[in-house]
Amino acid sequence: DGGITQSPKYLFRKEGQNVTLSCEQNLNHDAMYWYRQDPGQGLRLIYYSQIVNDFQKGDIAEGYSVSREKKESFPLTVTSAQKNPTAFYLCASSGQGGLNEQFFGPGTRLTVL
Amino acid sequence: GQQVMQIPQYQHVQEGEDFTTYCNSSTTLSNIQWYKQRPGGHPVFLIQLVKSGEVKKQKRLTFQFGEAKKNSSLHITATQTTDVGTYFCAGRGGGAQKLVFGQGTRLTINP
Protein backbone atom coordinates (compact mmCIF):
# COMPACT_ATOMS: atom_id res chain seq x y z
CA ASP A 1 0.00 0.00 0.00
CA GLY A 2 1.24 3.49 -0.81
CA GLY A 3 1.19 6.08 1.91
CA ILE A 4 2.93 7.96 4.66
CA THR A 5 3.94 6.39 7.91
CA GLN A 6 4.85 8.13 11.13
CA SER A 7 6.14 6.42 14.19
CA PRO A 8 5.54 6.14 17.00
CA LYS A 9 1.91 7.18 17.41
CA TYR A 10 2.53 8.31 21.00
CA LEU A 11 5.85 9.48 22.41
CA PHE A 12 6.80 10.56 25.90
CA ARG A 13 10.03 12.34 26.74
CA LYS A 14 11.55 14.11 29.68
CA GLU A 15 12.11 17.83 29.49
CA GLY A 16 15.55 18.71 28.15
CA GLN A 17 15.87 15.65 25.90
CA ASN A 18 16.03 15.81 22.13
CA VAL A 19 13.62 13.52 20.31
CA THR A 20 13.39 12.52 16.65
CA LEU A 21 10.08 11.80 14.93
CA SER A 22 10.16 9.65 11.83
CA CYS A 23 8.27 10.20 8.60
CA GLU A 24 8.50 7.83 5.63
CA GLN A 25 6.58 7.92 2.34
CA ASN A 26 6.46 5.54 -0.60
CA LEU A 27 4.40 7.80 -2.86
CA ASN A 28 7.45 8.96 -4.79
CA HIS A 29 6.65 12.54 -3.77
CA ASP A 30 9.33 15.18 -4.05
CA ALA A 31 7.92 17.54 -1.39
CA MET A 32 7.55 16.79 2.30
CA TYR A 33 6.30 18.89 5.20
CA TRP A 34 6.14 18.96 8.98
CA TYR A 35 3.25 20.61 10.79
CA ARG A 36 2.46 21.15 14.41
CA GLN A 37 -1.12 21.06 15.67
CA ASP A 38 -2.15 22.23 19.14
CA PRO A 39 -5.60 21.54 20.64
CA GLY A 40 -8.24 23.58 18.85
CA GLN A 41 -5.64 25.07 16.55
CA GLY A 42 -4.88 24.86 12.89
CA LEU A 43 -1.77 23.46 11.30
CA ARG A 44 1.42 25.47 11.60
CA LEU A 45 4.28 24.73 9.24
CA ILE A 46 7.60 23.85 10.89
CA TYR A 47 9.83 22.87 7.96
CA TYR A 48 9.37 21.77 4.39
CA SER A 49 11.49 20.22 1.71
CA GLN A 50 10.93 20.46 -2.02
CA ILE A 51 13.74 18.13 -2.99
CA VAL A 52 16.34 15.81 -1.50
CA ASN A 53 19.16 17.54 0.40
CA ASP A 54 17.25 20.81 0.54
CA PHE A 55 14.77 22.20 3.07
CA GLN A 56 13.34 25.52 4.20
CA LYS A 57 12.10 26.91 7.49
CA GLY A 58 8.39 27.28 7.94
CA ASP A 59 6.60 29.65 10.27
CA ILE A 60 7.67 28.07 13.58
CA ALA A 61 11.08 26.47 12.93
CA GLU A 62 12.77 27.60 16.15
CA GLY A 63 13.71 24.65 18.34
CA TYR A 64 13.33 22.11 15.53
CA SER A 65 15.69 20.60 12.97
CA VAL A 66 15.23 18.34 9.95
CA SER A 67 17.20 16.43 7.35
CA ARG A 68 16.32 15.15 3.89
CA GLU A 69 18.99 12.68 2.89
CA LYS A 70 16.58 10.38 1.08
CA LYS A 71 13.49 11.12 -0.97
CA GLU A 72 11.38 8.79 1.15
CA SER A 73 12.38 10.12 4.56
CA PHE A 74 12.05 13.46 6.36
CA PRO A 75 12.78 13.07 10.09
CA LEU A 76 12.07 15.90 12.52
CA THR A 77 14.11 16.48 15.66
CA VAL A 78 12.48 18.36 18.49
CA THR A 79 15.36 19.85 20.43
CA SER A 80 15.56 20.93 24.04
CA ALA A 81 15.47 24.53 22.77
CA GLN A 82 11.80 24.15 21.83
CA LYS A 83 10.02 25.84 24.72
CA ASN A 84 6.67 24.11 24.43
CA PRO A 85 7.15 20.84 22.53
CA THR A 86 4.05 18.96 23.66
CA ALA A 87 1.81 18.79 20.57
CA PHE A 88 0.49 16.64 17.75
CA TYR A 89 3.00 16.47 14.88
CA LEU A 90 1.86 15.77 11.35
CA CYS A 91 4.02 14.91 8.38
CA ALA A 92 2.75 15.36 4.82
CA SER A 93 3.99 14.90 1.29
CA SER A 94 2.94 16.09 -2.14
CA GLY A 95 4.01 16.06 -5.72
CA GLN A 96 6.00 18.99 -7.04
CA GLY A 97 4.18 22.14 -8.03
CA GLY A 98 1.60 24.31 -6.38
CA LEU A 99 -1.51 22.45 -7.48
CA ASN A 100 -0.84 19.19 -5.71
CA GLU A 101 -2.78 18.02 -2.69
CA GLN A 102 -0.96 17.07 0.47
CA PHE A 103 -1.17 13.56 1.87
CA PHE A 104 -0.85 13.37 5.63
CA GLY A 105 0.55 10.69 7.87
CA PRO A 106 -1.33 9.51 10.97
CA GLY A 107 0.65 11.85 13.24
CA THR A 108 2.75 11.52 16.38
CA ARG A 109 1.47 12.85 19.68
CA LEU A 110 4.48 14.03 21.67
CA THR A 111 4.21 14.65 25.38
CA VAL A 112 7.13 16.17 27.23
CA LEU A 113 7.01 15.57 30.95
CA GLY B 1 3.09 37.34 5.60
CA GLN B 2 0.07 35.65 4.16
CA GLN B 3 -2.71 34.92 6.64
CA VAL B 4 -5.78 32.74 6.25
CA MET B 5 -8.65 33.29 8.64
CA GLN B 6 -11.46 30.81 9.03
CA ILE B 7 -14.80 31.26 10.77
CA PRO B 8 -16.53 30.11 12.81
CA GLN B 9 -14.09 28.27 15.04
CA TYR B 10 -16.83 25.94 16.30
CA GLN B 11 -20.27 25.03 15.01
CA HIS B 12 -22.80 22.71 16.62
CA VAL B 13 -25.87 21.71 14.60
CA GLN B 14 -28.75 19.31 14.76
CA GLU B 15 -28.52 16.44 12.31
CA GLY B 16 -30.21 17.50 9.10
CA GLU B 17 -29.34 21.18 9.45
CA ASP B 18 -27.02 22.92 7.03
CA PHE B 19 -23.48 24.05 7.87
CA THR B 20 -21.17 26.64 6.34
CA THR B 21 -17.57 27.58 7.06
CA TYR B 22 -15.85 30.63 5.59
CA CYS B 23 -12.23 31.25 4.73
CA ASN B 24 -10.63 34.66 4.09
CA SER B 25 -7.11 35.40 2.95
CA SER B 26 -5.12 38.58 3.45
CA THR B 27 -3.69 38.17 -0.06
CA THR B 28 -4.89 36.92 -3.42
CA LEU B 29 -4.61 33.15 -3.69
CA SER B 30 -3.49 31.09 -6.64
CA ASN B 31 -5.52 28.15 -5.35
CA ILE B 32 -7.32 26.97 -2.25
CA GLN B 33 -7.68 23.48 -0.87
CA TRP B 34 -10.09 22.04 1.69
CA TYR B 35 -9.29 19.25 4.12
CA LYS B 36 -11.31 17.31 6.68
CA GLN B 37 -9.88 15.93 9.92
CA ARG B 38 -11.99 13.42 11.81
CA PRO B 39 -11.63 13.39 15.62
CA GLY B 40 -8.36 11.66 16.47
CA GLY B 41 -7.37 11.45 12.82
CA HIS B 42 -5.30 13.31 10.30
CA PRO B 43 -6.33 15.82 7.61
CA VAL B 44 -7.64 14.31 4.40
CA PHE B 45 -7.84 16.27 1.16
CA LEU B 46 -11.35 17.06 -0.05
CA ILE B 47 -11.02 19.38 -3.02
CA GLN B 48 -9.05 22.13 -4.73
CA LEU B 49 -10.36 25.33 -6.33
CA VAL B 50 -8.28 27.29 -8.81
CA LYS B 51 -10.46 29.57 -10.89
CA SER B 52 -12.07 32.83 -9.85
CA GLY B 53 -15.73 32.27 -8.98
CA GLU B 54 -15.35 28.50 -9.20
CA VAL B 55 -18.03 26.30 -7.63
CA LYS B 56 -17.60 22.57 -7.12
CA LYS B 57 -19.93 20.02 -5.58
CA GLN B 58 -19.33 16.69 -3.92
CA LYS B 59 -22.69 15.15 -3.05
CA ARG B 60 -23.96 17.32 -0.15
CA LEU B 61 -20.82 19.50 -0.05
CA THR B 62 -20.54 22.71 -2.09
CA PHE B 63 -17.27 24.59 -2.36
CA GLN B 64 -16.92 28.14 -3.67
CA PHE B 65 -13.94 30.32 -4.55
CA GLY B 66 -14.56 34.05 -4.53
CA GLU B 67 -14.32 36.26 -7.59
CA ALA B 68 -11.33 38.08 -6.12
CA LYS B 69 -9.70 34.77 -5.15
CA LYS B 70 -9.35 35.95 -1.55
CA ASN B 71 -12.18 33.99 0.06
CA SER B 72 -13.80 30.62 -0.07
CA SER B 73 -16.61 28.71 1.57
CA LEU B 74 -17.71 25.15 2.25
CA HIS B 75 -21.42 24.46 2.63
CA ILE B 76 -22.85 21.12 3.75
CA THR B 77 -26.51 20.50 3.12
CA ALA B 78 -28.49 18.34 5.53
CA THR B 79 -25.63 17.32 7.81
CA GLN B 80 -25.17 13.71 8.85
CA THR B 81 -23.25 12.33 11.81
CA THR B 82 -20.50 11.23 9.42
CA ASP B 83 -19.79 14.92 8.72
CA VAL B 84 -18.40 15.41 12.23
CA GLY B 85 -14.83 16.71 12.23
CA THR B 86 -12.71 19.78 11.67
CA TYR B 87 -12.70 21.38 8.24
CA PHE B 88 -9.62 23.31 7.17
CA CYS B 89 -9.06 25.59 4.24
CA ALA B 90 -5.51 26.05 2.98
CA GLY B 91 -4.41 28.65 0.48
CA ARG B 92 -1.36 29.30 -1.57
CA GLY B 93 -0.46 32.84 -2.56
CA GLY B 94 0.87 33.60 -6.00
CA GLY B 95 4.45 32.36 -6.28
CA ALA B 96 4.48 30.89 -2.80
CA GLN B 97 5.71 27.36 -2.33
CA LYS B 98 3.83 26.57 0.85
CA LEU B 99 0.20 26.23 1.86
CA VAL B 100 -1.14 28.40 4.67
CA PHE B 101 -3.85 26.69 6.69
CA GLY B 102 -6.78 28.37 8.35
CA GLN B 103 -7.48 27.61 12.01
CA GLY B 104 -10.25 25.19 11.07
CA THR B 105 -13.94 24.94 11.92
CA ARG B 106 -14.87 22.14 14.26
CA LEU B 107 -18.30 20.71 13.44
CA THR B 108 -20.23 18.71 15.99
CA ILE B 109 -23.66 17.24 15.33
CA ASN B 110 -26.52 16.35 17.62
CA PRO B 111 -28.16 13.19 16.27
Summarize pLDDT for B12-54 with one digit per residue, the tens.
Answer: 999 999 999 999 999 999 999 999 999 999 999 999 999 999 9
- Are B98 and A45 in contact (CB < 8 Å)? yes
| Cβ–Cβ contact A59 with B under 8 A | yes
Within chain A, what is the greatest distance between any pair of CA atoms?
40
Task: Point out the residue among B35, B97, B99 whose CB comes nearest to the CB of A50.
Answer: B97
Task: Please report the pLDDT score of residue A53 as a whole number.
Answer: 95
Question: What are the backbone angles phi and psi of residue A111, rounded to the nearest 5°?
Answer: -120, 125
Query: Nearest chain A Cα to B102, which residue?
Result: A42
Task: Please report the pLDDT score of residue A41 as a whole number.
Answer: 79
C-alpha distance from residue B103 to each of A42, B50, B51 (Å): 4, 21, 23
As a dihedral over the C-alpha atoms of residue A85, residue A87, residue A91, residue A97, rounded to 10 degrees, the angle is -90
Highest mean pLDDT among A97-101, B98-102, B106-110: B106-110
CA distance B87 to B109: 14
- Are B102 and A42 in contact (CB < 8 Å)? yes
| Cβ–Cβ contact A109 with B under 8 A | no
CA distance A105 to A108: 9
